[in-house]
Amino acid sequence: MIREFSEEQLELRQTVRRFLAEYSAEADVRRTMATASGYDQKTWEAMATQLGLHGLAIPEEYGGQGFGWVELGIVLEETGRALLCGPFFSSVVLAASALLESGDEAAKRRYLPGIADGSVIATVALPGGGGELDVAAELVDGRWRLTGRAALVTDAHVAHLVIVPARTPAGLGLFAIETGRPADGAGLTSAMGANAPTGAAGRTDTVGRTDTVGATGAAGRAGSDQTGFRTTLRPTLDQTRRLADIDLDAVTAAAVGDPTGGEAILARVLDLAAVGLAVEQTGGAQAALDMAVEYLKVRVQFGQPIGAFQALKHMAADVLVEVETARSAAYYALSAAADRSDALPVAAPLAAAYCSDAFVTAAHQNIQVHGGMGFTWEIPAHLYFKRARSSQLLLGEPAFHRARVAERLGL
Amino acid sequence: MGAGTGASETALSPDEARTAARAWLSDHWAGVDDENWRRALVTSGWAAPTWPVGRYGRGLSRPSARAAAAEFDAAGAPGACVETAPFHDNPWMYLLGNTLLAHGGQAVCDRYLPRLLTGSLTHGCLLYSEPGAGSDLASLQTRAELVGEGEYLVNGQKIWTTGGQEAQFGLLLARTDWDAPKHAGLTFFVIDMDSPGIEIRPIRQITGDAEFNEVFLTDVPVPADAVIGAPGEGWRVLQVALAAERAGMGAAARGRAEGKAAAGTSDLAVLRAVADDLVEAARAAGRLNDTVVRDELVKILSWRLTNTWTGDRAAAEIRRGPSSLASLGKLAASRVLHAGTDFAYRMQGRASLVYDVDDPLAYPVDRALMFAFINSIGGGSDQIQRNIIGERVLGLPKGYEPDRGVPFRDVRKGSATRPVSQEKRP
């Protein structure tokens, strides 16, 4: 359990916070969420190379820095606080965890260095609490072919690598699909070798690289790179996190780990994803509370700051209780993930459920405190509300996670 | 136009009203609905027979007016008895009409009431709230200054103005006396929205649409006889307009509930129908048999039903006099709306994350989730409603009021917020 952070960890937090204040300020978030790709390449590269955040928790032998989940958690709490737009969660939390958990040396060596240096954007088609996954894998002439559909996959529209759980005749497996999209960084070519399109030929196709979406969330255009691989960007309530549907028609893929052992890998990935999202939600909840508290201090009505009214003072105090409780849940889960504790299977869904609800509460009350202003596009209260609401369901609704807690406690 | 000079009979029984209407119709109705006909209705008092004599009415009781209206309907003659139409057919009949009848002088009544009754005045807006005066409306700072003979100049900024773009007129609350305590220095105006110096900018809201506006008033000339009530009595006048607004919203809410009830074939079907949407959402999610989901669903169903029943009791209470129950409905509706939309949002699972106008299932649910805040914030937030209930219904002491009795110019003012509109009016 994290009770306090080390000097180095505190410094990491300050560094990340300063960085995000500059690169993911409100204006940056609004600009980025209105772009076609939904992320800012310059910010992405700076995070990966300048700060080394992508590789923070990836072992050194795979091009990372070998820190652990506590450090990654610090980063996620800050990205949540700043509503960072982009595939950081998809790539660094989902995909890197899937690779690391798979035990597949070849896959780790092939993809993790690219994820660590930011040249590879990766994601996992997680079945988030529902039965949306409908992909079958078939072995044809010694190569796996995937057919079917994975709905609402985070950042699939920009991913170079998509890890898809699929059913084989012998069981569930994880499969890596290289989408064939040109990488913006040089690292991809080295990391993904011959499969990456080379030079100018790939780069001329930059329009097709991302599925376009209008600033107001008009329906996305379908994108197609690898034969049979198609992503359709969906307009989302939360514009700071992109979701795309993936359609697969006999797409070539490589098994990641044992092609029949996917169930167990996926369960661990889902737990780690839940931990990552929980810290991110804690950061978002804190930001929403901070915003509400600031307004309570400066908004004057009836001749006094409205924070002087007990109705609102108590409301803010209650939200703080929720936020700090969420933080305790998230931090416990973080250290369970860091230590590979046997409590992780309980701590992860517990944190997921609690932090989801806490963030929704904080974001909701922030709007209420702001009154009519809270209902406008102009102030960022709605951005936090939408992020809170989308995060609440991203990996399955809280009741689903609580059911897992009960199950794993053996109740 | 004269003020209903032909209408002198008052307190007619329904039978007498019917006879009078029939007689008047045979003299005036030529089967043509045109401007002359509408004007004749207005001057005769048949356009609004329940309004007072001298204010374009005939002073008839509601039952008598209904009897007369039946005669006009039978003759196929439109435009009579328009003042009793449901609130949402033309809310301004009540918002502007009631306010003018209660406090308007002859000149301002003559300028607006005939056009209201002929149907040529259909769009208005409310210019009450300001960036610095929301919950504390009486602290508004829009300034109306008397300059020379019979004219005010208005300067200030209003906000959350629905329908500002289309409005022909606006009901304006402005400060005319800065030395009086905050409630006492206000004056109520009805202004023409095509006056010079009015700029309207849409405000983009959480859903991405713009239904509200900011209204900027710069040296807007307003004739002195556009005042409703006396200068300094604006707060009192406002209460009439607010009462009309709340009554209208209440009636609308009850109307919706009754509409639902009518769909049922039995009492039991009525109870069931109230949560059809939630049942459907749970069933679609395959969770209708989940005991946790059922428990939550029935809780929300109970809140919806009981709130309707409380509304029914409030309606009965209002008929006998002031109703304390009526104050509770809006607050209870916040719980109903937030819980119901939250439930539907979660039941849909990840489908809720998509916000696509072409998605017939997720899109309305997402929008309802956001629009629930209209009820908990608009028209007096939940927190203000609780104050009203605590103080006016339960009789609890008011909290500390540092601005009580203090000349407004010495009061700590509501903080101004930055303009929230995204673009200028095209």
Domains and CATH numbers, chain A: 7-117 (1.10.540.10), 122-260 (2.40.110.10), 263-409 (1.20.140.10)
Residue in chain A lying closest to B208 (CA)? A377
CATH node for B124-232: 2.40.110.10
- Sort out which chain A residues have CB atoms less than 8 A from B159's CB and list them: 372
| B14-118 CATH fold | Butyryl-Coa Dehydrogenase, subunit A; domain 1 (1.10.540)
Closest CA to B403 of A306, A310, A304: A304
pLDDT digits (tens, 9 = 90+) for B25-50: 999 999 999 999 999 999 999 999 99
Residue in chain B lying closest to A368 (CA)? B377
> Which of helix, strand or coil describes residue A393?
helix
Distance (Å, whole) CA B77 – CA B15: 19
CB contact under 8 A, A301 and B136: yes
CB contact under 8 A, B350 and A129: yes
Residue in chain B lying closest to A387 (CA)? B353
Give contacts of A 345-364 with B, CB under 8 A.
Answer: 364
Distance (Å, whole) CA A266 – CA B90: 59
Give the pLDDT confidence score for residue B400 in this predicted structure: 86
pTM comes to 0.89
- Sort out which chain B residues have CB atoms less than 8 A from A367's CB and list them: 206, 373, 377
Residue in chain A lying closest to B356 (CA)? A235
Residue A182 identity: P
- Sort out which chain B residues have CB atoms less than 8 A from A149's CB and list them: none
Cβ contacts of B58-61, under 8 Å, gap ≥ 24: B58/B4, B58/B7, B58/B9, B58/B10, B58/B12, B59/B7, B59/B10, B59/B11, B60/B10, B60/B12, B60/B17, B61/B11
Q: Is A390 on the interface with B (CB under 8 A)?
A: yes
The secondary structure of residue B112, as a DSSP letter, is H
Full pLDDT tens readout for chain A, 411 residues: 788 999 999 999 999 999 999 999 999 999 999 999 999 999 999 999 999 999 999 999 999 999 999 999 999 999 999 999 999 999 999 999 999 999 999 999 999 999 999 999 999 999 865 556 789 999 999 999 999 999 999 999 999 999 999 999 999 999 999 999 876 543 333 334 333 333 332 222 222 233 333 223 333 334 445 789 999 999 999 999 999 999 999 999 999 999 999 999 999 999 999 999 999 999 999 999 999 999 999 999 999 999 999 999 999 999 999 999 999 999 999 999 999 999 999 999 999 999 999 999 999 999 999 999 999 999 999 999 999 999 999 999 999 999 999 999 999
CB contact under 8 A, A236 and B354: yes
- Sort out which chain A residues have CB atoms less than 8 A from B406's CB and list them: 303
User: Which residues lie below 8 Å from residue B192, measured CB to CB, with a gap of 6+?
Assistant: B168, B169
| B246-393 CATH fold | Butyryl-CoA Dehydrogenase, subunit A; domain 3 (1.20.140)
pLDDT digits (tens, 9 = 90+) for B239-256: 989 888 877 776 665 555
Q: Is A17 on the interface with B (CB under 8 A)?
A: no
Give the pLDDT confidence score for residue A211 in this predicted structure: 37
Beta bridge partners of A145: A138, A252
Distance (Å, whole) CA A211 – CA A157: 6
Mind giving me the DSSP string for B386-415? HHHIIIIIS-PPP---TTTT--GGGSPPPP
- Sort out which chain B residues have CB atoms less than 8 A from A356's CB and list them: none
Measure Cα distances from B294 to B210, B299, B350 in Å: 37, 9, 20
Q: How many CB atoms lie within 10 A of CB A36?
A: 18
CB contact under 8 A, B204 and A378: yes
Residue in chain A lying closest to B207 (CA)? A377
Distance (Å, whole) CA B413 – CA A349: 48
Minimum-distance CB partner of A235 among B160, B354, B406: B354
Query: For chain B, which residues make up each domain, given as ranges?
Result: 14-118, 124-232, 246-393
Distance (Å, whole) CA A346 – CA A353: 11
Nearest CA-CA distance, residue B117 and chain A, Å? 33
CB contact under 8 A, A379 and B381: no
Minimum-distance CB partner of B386 among A130, A304, A311: A311
Give the pLDDT confidence score for residue B247 in this predicted structure: 75
Distance (Å, whole) CA A109 – CA A256: 12
Give the pLDDT confidence score for residue A186 in this predicted structure: 37
CB contact under 8 A, A309 and B383: yes
Residues of B with catalytic annotation? 245
Closest CA to A156 of A132, A184, A126: A126
The secondary structure of residue B210, as a DSSP letter, is -
Length of chain B: 426
- Sort out which chain A residues have CB atoms less than 8 A from B371's CB and list them: none
